[in-house]
Chain A
Amino acid sequence: MTEKQMEYVMSGDREKCTGCLICALECSFLYEGRFSPEASRIIINKTYENSITFTSDCTRCGVCADVCPFNALTKSL
């Protein structure tokens, strides 16, 4: 099983989240081939102080946690 096919338990720390949206853009680029927070499976909502939610389409691949520059996301088995 490749790492990409693994399913992780995902969580986010809004105190560490800076709102950079790199996670959302990596997700949409990977799965939809374009940069679009609207099409991403991780939603960062600045109107609620960078709340972090995962949509029902999220496959829990953990790529967002790999790319977060601020260690705001964790993936665990």
Chain B
Amino acid sequence: MKIPLNWLQQFISLTDISTRQLVEDISLAICEVENIISQSSFDVRVGEIKSIKKIEKSQKLLIAKVDVGNKQNISIIFGNYFEVKRGDRLPVAVAPTCLPTGLSISKKEIVGYTSDGMLVSDDELGLKLSDEGILRFSKKHKIGSNVLKLLGFQDTLDLKITPNRGDLLSIYGFARDLAAFYNKKINQVLIPALNYEQKNISRDLIIDLQAESVVNRYSAIKISGLKNINSPDWIQKRLLAAGFRPINAIVDITNYVMIELGQPLHAFDFEKISESNTDRGHISGSREIIVRRSKLNEHIHTLDDKKYLLPIGSVVIADHKKILALAGVIGSQNSSISLNTTQIVLESAIFDSILIRQTSKALNLITDSSQRFERKIDSELAVAALKRAVQLIIEICGGKITSELLDLKTKTKKIAEKITFSLNRFTKLSGIHISMNNAEKILRRLEFKILKKSKNNLEIVPPSWRHDILIEEDVFEEIERIYGFNLIPETLPNGQLSFKDPANNLKLENQIAELARNLGWNETLTFSFYSEPEVRISGIDKDKHLKLKNPLGPETSYLRASLMPGLLRTLERNINCPTDEISIFEIGRIFNHENSNFNEVLMLSGLRVSSHIDNNISQVRLLIDSILKIFNDEIGIKANDQKTADILVNDNKVGKITILQENILKSDRKQRKGIYFEITLEKLFQLTKKISKYIEQNPFPSLNRDVTYEIAEPLNLDQLIRPLSKKNMYLIRVALIDIFNLQNGRAVTLRLTYQAPDRTLTDEEVNNLHQDIIKSQITDGVKIKL
């Protein structure tokens, strides 16, 4: 919502408040101020044409040297739409800048010449002030002066009104709240009585209100004998400052009154409404406006020249042949006002907020009107706004009222709910101690009706425009914002602390991330979605993936069922980083389908790339072992083949390791190798061993014995080591000492450590045990090297 300050000051005097203070007060107590638009936001200057020449290669284009003040001469390329000659003073936009209409101007290269700005026509400026289509300045206007300043354009606040405060979507409504805040007087809008002579009234306008359940009020009036023109300057300038483009007086006035009071209005060209059938008892030449629900396959061709298929059940304003407007949203081209219009029907209605929201949402069509209806209109406003617009139209375009005021109400005026305000409760919730007297004063400033008053309670009714105030807490907010949030004291809560520990894995997750970091891994975070090609890379069935109903684009089509594609994306981005080794990991949730349920699982995935595959494996293994050690000692890696292996905890699969075969590595200049692993953290957390009691230290010495096995490929070390370590209770540790490659296999030296919990083992005992154990592992591919 754009609020020009001079328009605002028509209703409230702000001369004692600086713009800076005003902006701060509004931000704190009313709404966010997104921007202050000032004259200097638009660099449009009075420029004098110094020379003109034709651009050779072009039919229409000319280039001029223009003096724009401050000894600055710029080149402007323009079309020969206007008569421009040396010495003319014209509005010139100096790039880079933008115009009040939103048009942005930048330096441009055109057929080999540079244009440093633009001659600004009325159309581009957004005003229709000259007959010719461009403003001309006389010698008394100084070269270089700001054109918008000359036009009287003043500072405008660009406000972000929250959806609960529909009452602020008008200059008057905003001024009313500001007046309450500053405790100032508000100047009322004078609502004139409708003056018409009975002899002028014809009975040729009929309203048939069918969609009664969603139209709270429908008022209309007919004016004839109009001469539509361009609006006077003051209306045009105010509209432009408020972000509206002036069109013609009748349309401009409907917009003007909407901005001023908040009630959307619509004008139909009476003659463009189809004549109704006389067989329905209507007099010849009469027009019947039908307010009804839309049917299957109805279209509207809107004022802004777009076509929409209407959702069934939205409300349309129609005659018996065609649709004249989509109620509360936008008018149709077929009944629009032109400069030739002489008779109009002016509509002021209150449509149901939910209806308008649904229609606007279904068509993705948000208008100034629909926004206001969605946020609810002051129920008292419809007829007042209509009268205000009639007055302005007749003032500017002449004409006279030629129908009665048709005013159809479907709902009896809702009596606003009473709310009981308790001062004790206010203090208990806010922590503010104010007197009942002060609370009451604030509420009166906001125009609450006080019905009953006792020492601690007020019985109150909110004003008709405050649809957002329904319960006591809403009233508390009103008092707090006017009193000032920043005057509320700062305290710390007392009260009992809770000792329950809600199940949460975040601490474990953090522990793992820290461990990985300590081992040299970089933590990454990627989006939770990916594209169809990445579904294939994930290696997980497309059917198991969850698909978004409304993705932003192909990159967000599927929810990730694996963290791998994201890690590969990260790898690709960093493939040329200077280090040989890249170790990246992500901890995050993946998603999949299971029995038509949505499943989300916390995963750890990592990717390691370097020139040496063995180095990759041992680095990954170091990380996995270290992580599993935090949670549980019983780790195993079971190779399925040369490319994949399972990560086991107590023989439960918790993850996997795979050799990367992705194209990204195939094209790597350094010809590096990659390995990927993932662990389902939720499974791991479930298998976590908790220490319940410490185990007494073993005071007896341990003894080491080494053995070297010769293993034929493709046997995996894990297959040798893991069973070995479970052979005997006195064998407490098996450690890998050395590996070297043989002609067809490997020699592996292991160190076995023996210890008994209750005595010192003798050399002989250990020797025998050791021989038994190491021999038990001899199989086809495994023998002991002597």
Q: Do A and B bind each other?
A: no
Give B residues with C-beta under 8 Å from A.
none
Q: A: which residues have CB within 8 A of B?
A: none
